[in-house]
Amino acid sequence: AFKPINDFAKSLNVKMGIQLAHAGRKASTMLPWDDHRIASLEEGGWIPVSSSPLAYHGMLEPHELTVTEIAELVKSFANAAKRSVAAGFDLVEIHAAHGYLFHQFYSPLSNQRSDNYGGSFENRIRFLLETIKAVRSVIPDSMPLFVRISASDWVEQGWSIEESIELSQLMKELGVDLVDVSSGGNLHNAPIKAVPGFQVPFAQAIRQGADIPTSAVGLITGAKQADEIISSGKADAVFLARAMIRNPRWAMAAAEELGVKIDWPLQFDRGRTLT
């Protein structure tokens, strides 16, 4: 299904990436615009899985994954990466943030295991590192591999920026090319002060502490704001989502604001500001 889309994008000299994820205990929900409620078994819902049988706020109690099931998931991610290559994607990102499955393992807030996948820092990050190794081994050496993490749980007893720096150093050794730095998502009432650029310091800390390229995300909406983050060395890239949902032509507007000459698509060319 993706290959025709990617082939078309390549014909326009556009690069395409894919994000591979597992929601873990946050799974089995209805669509976001359907109150994001839990899906019943009759509606196609299922019992979710996680590192430990601890339910996320208002959601179902998950099944604790066995060691065998964890190994199968590692293989599944590798197989998904193989399919991504075959479909013509140019990069792969593993989503390990926002309270999804990998985050549920590396955060002590959600991981209460007593085996090799719980307890110590080394054990809690094991599942993610095993998956990175497996994915890196099946994609071309030249293909970029990104990993999105939550750099902090925003509470003292949770996952910390110091641990994120250490994790990022290990991911770099395994062939990760960029850390996509977000935060939160594993505690429903975390005291997050979401102001413009509030997660940029995390990206900067990991960039400097782990000596690895990072991207900054979160309430980055303006062209000059994004340009300052990169030009000042706080991050190597800025990733946008909601800003471009609100304005799909954000990049063209940003180019105008920053005085960068670009070729506009013909169907939008008459919308340029005349000077």
Amino acid at 9: A
What's the DSSP call for residue 90? S
Does 230 fall in a domain? no
Q: Which residues are CB-neighbours of 113 under 8 A, at least 6 positions away? A: 51, 52, 64, 119, 123
Percentage of residues of the chain with pLDDT beyond 70: 99
**Residue 4, CA atoms < 13 Å, CB-side half-sphere:** 1
Look at residue 111 in the predicted model and tell me its pLDDT. 99
Does 250 fall in a domain? no
CATH code for position 103: 3.20.20.70
Q: Are strands 17-20 and 63-64 parallel, antiparallel or unpaired?
A: unpaired
Asked if residue 228 has pLDDT above 70, the reply is: yes
Does 220 fall in a domain? no
Look at residue 35 in the predicted model and tell me its pLDDT. 75
Does 167 fall in a domain? yes
Asked if residue 275 has pLDDT above 70, the reply is: no
Look at residue 265 in the predicted model and tell me its pLDDT. 84
Which tokens sit at 146?
Answer: 């990104």
- Weakest mean pLDDT among 52-61, 166-175, 177-186: 52-61
Predicted TM-score (pTM) of the model is 0.95
Q: Are strands 178-182 and 63-64 parallel, antiparallel or unpaired?
A: unpaired
Asked if residue 85 has pLDDT above 80, the reply is: yes
Does 245 fall in a domain? no
Does 15 fall in a domain? yes
Averaged pLDDT, 16-23: 99
Per residue in 26-50, pLDDT (tens digit) is: 999 998 888 778 898 888 999 999 9
Averaged pLDDT, 141-162: 98
Asked if residue 142 has pLDDT above 80, the reply is: yes
Nearest 5°: phi and psi at 207?
-60, -45
Does 252 fall in a domain? no
Domain membership of residue 68 as a residue range:
2-192
CA dihedral 130, 164, 155, 103 (to 10 degrees): -20
- Give me the active site residues, please: 100
Does 10 fall in a domain? yes
- How many domains is the chain built from? 1
